[in-house]
Amino acid sequence: MSGPVYRGVFPVAPTIFNEHGELDLAGQRRALDFMIDAGSHGICILANFSEQFALSDEEREILMLDCLAHVAGRVPVIVTTSHFSSAVCAARSRRAEAAGAAMVMVMPPYHGATIRVGEAEIYEFYQRVAGAITIPVLVQDAPVAGTPLSVALLARMAKEIGNLAYFKIEVPRAASKLRALIEAGGDAVLGPWDGEEAITLMADLAAGATGAMTGGGFPDGIRQIIDPWFAGNREEATQAYMRWLPLINWENRQCGFATAKILMRAGGVIAHDGLRHPIAPVHPAEREGLLALARPLDPLVLRWGT
């Protein structure tokens, strides 16, 4: 496919709410500005780590338009457009492209714990979504969907669906799947990407990953890992990963998608770090544990707003 090849750090932007649980667009813009200043090569919005499942359709549209207008091309923006319906997902993707999105990220169709479709329907789903737009489609292969996506299916879609060329792999043994996908898909796989908060980043880079979609709290830390890796200095990358791994692990296993907002509030980027009900607030001890790990690393997020 034509156009730029995207690689590097593309963290997920959290959705910022005010003290009443409503969208805080001013805070959202500050979060985006911080993420750009922290070295993000691009930004993903409306993902699961953005609490997309807690947003109304109207709020999604407001956020998408405001974020794209504010970023204004400074970095490419990926808009998550996942939906069970092929028609709804395609329509969301068309609106994202029209508003200036560089790419859309889409999970396979699922609903609840049991409603899934077969491999033939998954192929047709992505075919219809990709056919509705000209920008790239990034397939999100995540456990939350509970939908097996075989390497053979992913490689076939890469080869046969012209603008479906990026794959965020965050299932168990992600590195093995990335390696197999690269081998099976060849040049049709433009973007084999790491996910899951970079907890498997080193193995995924070794398997051939060219992108990392992490949380939005410390893109500068992830850059310290992938920049030397892509420059051929694996020892420096390994040492950086060892420094940042405790914080990465705390995000992955403890604070989850609250992590970026806790760090942003602590550093004066945003005024409120609340999650949307019925998600429970982070326990104060877990919050302090996160900050205790972050402070010695001196991430930009803790200095940006001061």
Residues with a known catalytic role:
168
Q: Are 155 and 129 in contact (CB under 8 A)?
A: no
Q: What is the largest CA-CA distance in the chain?
A: 53
- Give the orientation angle of helix 57-71 with respect to helix 86-99, to 10 degrees: 30
Token pair listed for 148: 């097996």
> Rounded to whole angstroms, what are the CA distances from 7 to 37, 113, 192, 218, 230?
17, 33, 9, 17, 10
* Tokens matching residue 238: 């390994």
Structure tokens of 270?
């945003």
Amino acid identity of 19? E
Residue with tokens 């699961």: 48
Give the CA distances from residue 87 to residues 10, 38, 125, in Å, rounded to whole numbers and listed in that order: 27, 36, 9
What is the CA angle 23-26-29, rounded to 5? 100
Q: Is the distance from CB of 263 to CB of 301 less than 8 angstroms? A: yes
Element (H, E) at 80: strand 77-80
119-157 as b/e, with b when 16 or more CB fall inside 10 Å? eeebbebbbebbebbebbbbbbbbeebebebebebbbbb
Question: How many Å apart are CA 243 and CA 12, to the nearest integer?
Answer: 22
